[in-house]
């Protein structure tokens, strides 16, 4: 028996040494494995689609600033990636002022209609009515994209509004060729949503032909959307008080939706203070609630603390184990404590405090993965000396059907873009219509594909949304009139010694937070260039379901073996996300890249 123990110890030591040497090797070659990033002294745009990046670059070449370019890019994405994001949805942005270093956050997220109610998706027995929060007009929340874009342009834009919207109008009116390369960002990759699209006459007319989506290499023309964008270029308030608003509310009334003219008239974007914290020599700023992104990005970075990940090596098992256990803690806290700060008290300062992170770090066993059932969210008051409370509500405990049936669906939808101009003003913007093709409905005559953002609320205690995220009985993210649903969007701006260092973000549903985390670490800890930082293999854990998701071939066999030995339930998934990034290097040169998982491209001059 003693010989067996000695043999086992030697075997583990040998494996650990091999993993260490391999991680050191991969750390050195990671940046060489991907296309070279784009570099420029002047302005730069990165987005999920080359035509949208072109639209933003046009504004910079015409003398516009980062805001002008970001607005043009966002409108263009609404045309060329309508299944991911658009003017029928909402989002968040961070803006950095090059002269002053000031960072602000704008919330233009969708909001629950006035007629919304906590139990609107439940039947008389309190059970969820299937698909009502994801498909059809009842799933739609009040859109905010147009209001948000107009607000940031009104305050900081330079070029005329009409000029900024024009590239999107042209793309919609003349059409564009769908990329021949099929990726998860292609319309044809949305096969699971085709039935919903075919059920809506207005959507079916635009996106399908003879019962199928338009195919790669074919031209997609959206003339109704071109007319709507033309009206917005003349008068953006038409979306909320004019003809466009009336068309949306009329379509809602005819089809069982609850977004009314009053909802549109009363919608206003909200300027908020970003959440910021320090990591190494950098200041990390991101989106505050009602997004959970910034809070939990900072929380996980705080839990990492002074651990020298670079010395361990990229994707060393110790580093991965620490990241995963920190992710579990953050998502457990998210499920209980995060929501719309205009409706519930969110303990932001406590969650991002180094003191709280130290307590949480002490709960991590570096030799053994803790089952999610034993990872407890903090109590509501977040008393740092109190016991951590039970994470499970009565409606959803380990072993019940709702946990067993937690979906592992990961959306490639949502879209992110970054802009940095010659004066080093910067925009980081993430926007969405939620899942693929949103609610699957187009407001008749407008060409506007509407969101299904109501699904981002906790529609019932312990019931997961489309991304597998859950809440509890007293959930801070319960539905209420005019409330903003919780989000994971994480537009992020990082400074170093008071100067702009990084602008980044990504789509990806519940994986957004962990994606941005790993992009940030790839640059700040592992010294990767822009291209490697956004394209390197990723991992993800979101507390529930209790699984460590890894990309196929993303980790080597020895690392997987070691993580399994520590008790991680590893599940291989197709790749997820579509990050992009702009770095400002110490010599002042901009360096930009888009994720090789998508079809985006950076543009610069």
- Does 433 count as an annotated binding residue? yes
User: Using CA atoms, how far apart are residues 466 and 131, in angstroms rounded to an integer?
Assistant: 10
Specify whether the CB–CB gap between 314 and 510 falls below 8 A: no
Report the run of H or E that residue 550 belongs to, with start and end.
strand 548-551
- Does 18 count as an annotated binding residue? no
User: Using CA atoms, how far apart are residues 488 and 485, in angstroms rounded to an integer?
Assistant: 10
Task: List Cα–Cα distances, 122 to 128, 198, 466, 479, 574, in angstroms.
Answer: 4, 26, 16, 12, 33
- Does 456 count as an annotated binding residue? yes
Structure token pair of residue 279: 């990591």
Which residues on neighbouring strands pair with residue 220, listed in sequence order?
A: 176
Specify whether the CB–CB gap between 150 and 60 falls below 8 A: no
- Does 488 count as an annotated binding residue? yes
C-alpha atoms less than 13 angstroms from C-alpha of 176 in its C-beta half-sphere: 22
Residue tagged 């009602």 (tokens):
290
**Rg of the Cα atoms in the chain:** 23
- Does 510 count as an annotated binding residue? no
Residue tagged 């709280």 (tokens):
356
Assign 271 to helix, strand or coil: strand
DSSP 396-439: B-TTSHHHHT--------SEEEEEE-TT--EEEEEEE-SSTTTT
In sequence order, what are the residues at sequence separation of 6 or more whose Cβ sits closer than 8 angstroms to the Cβ of residue 388?
Answer: 376, 377, 378, 379
Question: Measuring CA to CA, which residue among 228, 166, 231 is closest to residue 202?
Answer: 228
Task: List Cα–Cα distances, 568 to 77, 377, 408, 560, in angstroms.
Answer: 38, 20, 17, 9
In sequence order, what are the residues at sequence separation of 6 or more whose Cβ sits closer than 8 angstroms to the Cβ of residue 243?
Answer: 231
- Does 487 count as an annotated binding residue? yes
User: Using CA atoms, how far apart are residues 228 and 497, in angstroms rounded to an integer?
Assistant: 44
Assign 239 to helix, strand or coil: helix
From 414, 446, 484, 596, active-site residue: 414
Question: Measuring CA to CA, which residue among 392, 450, 360, 387 is closest to residue 136?
Answer: 450
Task: List Cα–Cα distances, 231 to 108, 161, 239, 291, 446, in angstroms.
Answer: 20, 12, 9, 31, 10
How far does Cα 76 stand from its chain's mean position?
19
- Does 434 count as an annotated binding residue? yes
Specify whether the CB–CB gap between 75 and 149 falls below 8 A: yes
Number of neighbouring beta carbons within 10 Å of residue 588: 10
Specify whether 397 is catalytic: no
Structure token pair of residue 425: 């003003």
Number of neighbouring beta carbons within 10 Å of residue 115: 13
User: Using CA atoms, how far apart are residues 509 and 413, in angstroms rounded to an integer?
Assistant: 7
- Does 373 count as an annotated binding residue? no
Task: Name the H helices within 214-367.
Answer: 223-234, 238-241, 243-254, 261-266, 293-304, 309-312, 317-337, 348-351, 354-362
Task: List Cα–Cα distances, 512 to 29, 66, 541, in angstroms.
Answer: 25, 23, 11
Question: Known catalytic residues?
Answer: 414
Annotated binding site for L-glutamate, which residues? 109, 432-434, 456, 487-488, 509
């Amino acid at each position: 028996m003693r010989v067996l123990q000695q043999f086992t110890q030697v075997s583990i030591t040998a494996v650990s040494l091999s993993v260490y040497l391999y991680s050191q090797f991969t750390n050195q070659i990671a940046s060489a494995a991907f296309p070279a990033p784009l570099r420029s002294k002047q302005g730069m745009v990165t987005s999920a689609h080359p035509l949208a990046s072109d639209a933003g670059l046009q504004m910079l070449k015409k003398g516009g600033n980062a805001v002008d370019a970001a607005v043009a890019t966002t409108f263009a994405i609404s045309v060329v990636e309508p299944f991911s994001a658009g003017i029928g949805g909402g989002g968040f942005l961070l803006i950095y002022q090059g002269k002053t270093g000031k960072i602000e956050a704008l919330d233009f997220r969708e909001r629950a209609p006035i007629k919304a109610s906590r139990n609107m998706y439940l039947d008389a027995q309190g059970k969820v009515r299937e698909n009502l929060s994801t498909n059809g007009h009842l799933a739609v929340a009040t859109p905010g994209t147009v209001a948000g874009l107009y607000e940031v342009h009104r305050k900081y834009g330079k070029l005329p509004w009409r000029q900024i919207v024009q590239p999107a109008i042209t793309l919609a009116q003349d059409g564009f060729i769908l990329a021949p390369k099929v990726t998860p960002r292609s319309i044809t990759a949305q096969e699971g949503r085709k039935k919903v699209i075919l059920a809506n006459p207005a959507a079916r007319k635009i996106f399908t032909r003879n019962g199928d989506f338009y195919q790669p290499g074919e031209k997609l023309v959206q003339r109704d959307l071109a007319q709507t964008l033309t009206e917005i270029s003349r008068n953006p308030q038409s979306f909320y008080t004019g003809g466009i608003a009336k068309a949306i509310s009329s379509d809602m009334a005819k089809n069982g939706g609850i977004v009314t003219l009053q909802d549109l008239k009363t919608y206003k974007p909200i300027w908020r203070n970003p959440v910021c914290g320090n990591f190494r020599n950098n200041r990390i700023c991101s989106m505050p609630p009602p997004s959970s992104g910034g809070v939990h990005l900072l929380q996980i970075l705080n839990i990492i603390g002074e651990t020298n990940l670079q010395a361990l090596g990229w994707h060393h098992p110790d580093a991965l184990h620490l990241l995963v256990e920190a992710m579990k803690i953050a998502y457990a806290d998210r499920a209980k404590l995060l929501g719309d700060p205009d409706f519930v008290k969110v303990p932001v300062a406590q969650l991002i405090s180094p003191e709280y992170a130290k307590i949480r770090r002490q709960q991590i066993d570096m030799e053994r993965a803790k089952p999610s059932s034993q990872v407890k969210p903090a109590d509501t008051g977040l008393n740092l000396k109190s016991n951590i409370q039970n994470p499970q509500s009565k409606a959803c405990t380990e072993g019940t059907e709702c946990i067993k049936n937690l979906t592992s669906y990961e959306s490639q939808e949502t879209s992110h873009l970054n802009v940095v101009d010659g004066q080093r003003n910067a925009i980081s913007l993430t926007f969405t219509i939620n899942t693929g093709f949103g609610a699957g409905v187009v407001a008749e005559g407008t060409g506007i594909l509407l969101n299904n953002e109501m699904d981002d609320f906790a529609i019932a205690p312990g019931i997961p949304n489309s991304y597998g995220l859950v809440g509890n009985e007293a959930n801070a993210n319960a539905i209420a009139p005019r409330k903003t649903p919780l989000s994971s969007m994480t537009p992020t701006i990082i400074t170093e010694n008071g100067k702009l260092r990084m602008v980044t973000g990504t789509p990806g549903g519940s994986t957004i937070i962990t994606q941005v985390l790993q992009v940030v670490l790839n640059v700040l800890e592992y010294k990767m260039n822009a291209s490697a930082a956004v394209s390197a293999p990723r991992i993800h854990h979101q507390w529930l379901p209790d699984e460590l998701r890894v990309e196929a071939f993303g980790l080597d066999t020895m690392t997987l073996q070691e993580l399994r030995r520590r008790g991680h339930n590893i599940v291989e998934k197709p790749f997820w996300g579509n990050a992009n990034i702009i770095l400002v290097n110490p010599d002042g040169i901009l360096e930009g890249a888009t994720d090789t998982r998508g079809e985006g491209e950076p543009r610069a001059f």
